[in-house]
Each structure stands twice: as structure tokens, then as C-alpha cells.
Amino acid sequence: MTRRQRWDYDEILNGVLVLGDAILALIQTLIIAFGALVGLIVLGIVEHNGIQTGLDWFLEDSNMAWFAALAMIIFNMIVEFMIVHIEDVNDFHMESQTKWSLRLMVGNLGYRIGLGENWEPLASSPAHRFYTWRALTTVAIFILALAGRMQQNIEKVSMIQGNAGVEVAVPVMDGLHQLVTQSTLADIFTWAGGMVFTMVALFGMQGLTNYIAVRVVHIRGAMEKRERVQRARETRKWNARHPGSNASTGLPLEGSTGKRVESTGSAMGYSKNMSARAIVERYYAEHPYALESQSLNEVVEHIKAGGQSVGKSTVGNVRSEMLARISDEDTEPVEAVEG
């Protein structure tokens, strides 16, 4: 094999590898972008069928059972979206998940009953009401879907042949006893399969809904960041064309340096209960033309103006929040501010 032939062979192999990597990357991107949504729709259809069959036990109108099953599925998704949205708006983050241990369980129990000299109340999620609704919805969907899928097996142990050959309903305890003592191996596997399938479909649907809700929050944050960058660029261009005016008010700037300044009078309704993110978001809401590189000093000055209600730790957190927001944006360098 000549050197030319060997070079062509290597180029062909490299081309095949690059093409394979590109195809895998495309498949992964499509799965991440659309797979979760498609899986959620499919699981929603599956759970809707199970819930409708369970509702048919006590709802005479089949159309109402279909509509009620759809309402349960939609409500379950809405609750997941509301939990993520409320916690993001309030800048609330759950503690990292840890592996189960007996010590953690005992400590949890101790906190519940108030044991320990250093006992302190833990903050609850601002969406705690929706967590309760999610738990109730999960139990309701699981029972209805399982009952719908296992209808024949349930009826099998709920009726017995009477003396005249007529089927007679049995009491609850007799039905449970008959289920345990007279079930065949096929019945056991049917029950196990129905329960596992219902759990996977239900929890899978909730997990995919949560994933999509988190992705929506990230996408919305990225869109807001691009909007701020674009606004900052437009403001810099406007200031470059009008060096003696303020882009947000159109008024002359203070002094002859051309630096934009705004009034730092009273703190803008900041309170000690506000998080750093909430303070920063409120500042940008009231100052839509604020330049990222200049507004760090201005936000801190506003907070200092309300020093009676906002502590130094909050000022430091706001500074960290501002620096994190502008670290990867197209902005001017930021000068450090003394706390």
C-alpha cells in the first residue's frame, strides 16, 4: 500500500467516525428536545385509559368518566408546573438528596416531635400546598388506574357461586382471604405486573412533567438574559451617540464625565425577607435601561439607603448574584464595591 493509498484510507475512516458521531449527537439532541414531550404524551394516554376504566366503576356516564380522567391527568401536570414555577420565583432550592440511613430517619423523627436543645424550625417550600395536592393526586390516580386495569381479577374474588348457581357478592375480608388462598400463579403475576406498570406510568409521567417544567424555567431565564444583553448594547450605543444624556430618562447626566447616574434616594421597598434574586429582579423591573456593569454599584447603593431593614449579608448576596448574572454576558468590566 502506497503512502497516498494509506492517507486516503485514513481519511475515509476518519470521515466515517465523524459522520457516526454527528448522527449520535443528532439523535441525542432530538431525544432531549422532543423525547420527553413525546414520552409524556404517550404515558398520559396510557394513564388516561386506566383512570377512565376505574372511573367507570361508579360513574354511569362513560363520557363523564372520559372527561374526568382527562381532568385528573391535566391537573397532575399543572401541579408539577406550579411547584417548579413557585419555587423558582421565590428562589427556593430543596436540599440535596441523600442516601437513606437509620440515623437520618431518627433525626427526622426527632425534628418532627421537637427533640434536641438546638432544635430550630426548617423553612418549608413556598409551594407546600401544591406538594399536598400532588400527593393526593398521586394516590387517587394510582388507585383508579390499578382498579381499572385489574377489574377482572377484582371481580373474580368478589363473587362466589351461590346454592342456586347465582353469583353472590362476598364481604371484603372474605374476598381478601379468597385472593390470598385461591389465587393462581398467573393471578399473582397479573397483580404484580399491573401494580408495577401503574407505578412506572404514573411516576414516569410526573418525572417527565417536572423535567419539562425545569427546562421551561431555564429557557425563560436564557431568553431574559439575551434580552438584558440586547438592552445593554442598545443603551451603550445610545449613550455613545448622546454622551450628555441618560438613556432611561433623556435628562442630562451629572457632571462632565458622561457617566450615567440615577437617584439613590430611598430603598425601593426592599425588606429583610427578600432574597438576593428578588432584589435584583425588582431593580431591573424598575430600571429597564440599566447597564449591567453600572447597576451593580447602583443596586448596592439602593440597599445601603435602606440599611435599617437590609443587613450586610444581603448586600453581599446581591453582589454575588449580580456578578453571577453578568459573568458570561457581553458587558463592561465590573468594579468591586466595598460592603
Which of 20-29, 224-233, 266-275 is least confident? Answer: 266-275
Residue 255 has a pLDDT of 41
Which cell goes with 82? 406550579
Number of CB atoms found within 10 A of residue 151's CB? 14
Which cell goes with 90? 421565590
Closest CA to 245 of 267, 261, 234, 266: 261
Residue 330 has a pLDDT of 44
Question: What's the average model confidence in pLDDT over 195-221?
Answer: 91
Which cell goes with 133? 395536592
Closest CA to 72 of 1, 15, 138, 6: 138
Amino acid at position 282, single letter? R
Higher-pLDDT residue of 130, 321: 130
Number of CB atoms found within 10 A of residue 206's CB? 20
Taking the domains of the chain in order of start, what are their residue ranges? 33-89+126-160+168-241, 273-339
Q: Give 249-299 pLDDT, tens digit per residue.
A: 444 444 434 444 343 334 445 555 566 677 766 666 666 555 544 556 666
Task: Judge whether residue 312 has pLDDT over 90.
Answer: no
Does the pTM exceed 0.75?
no
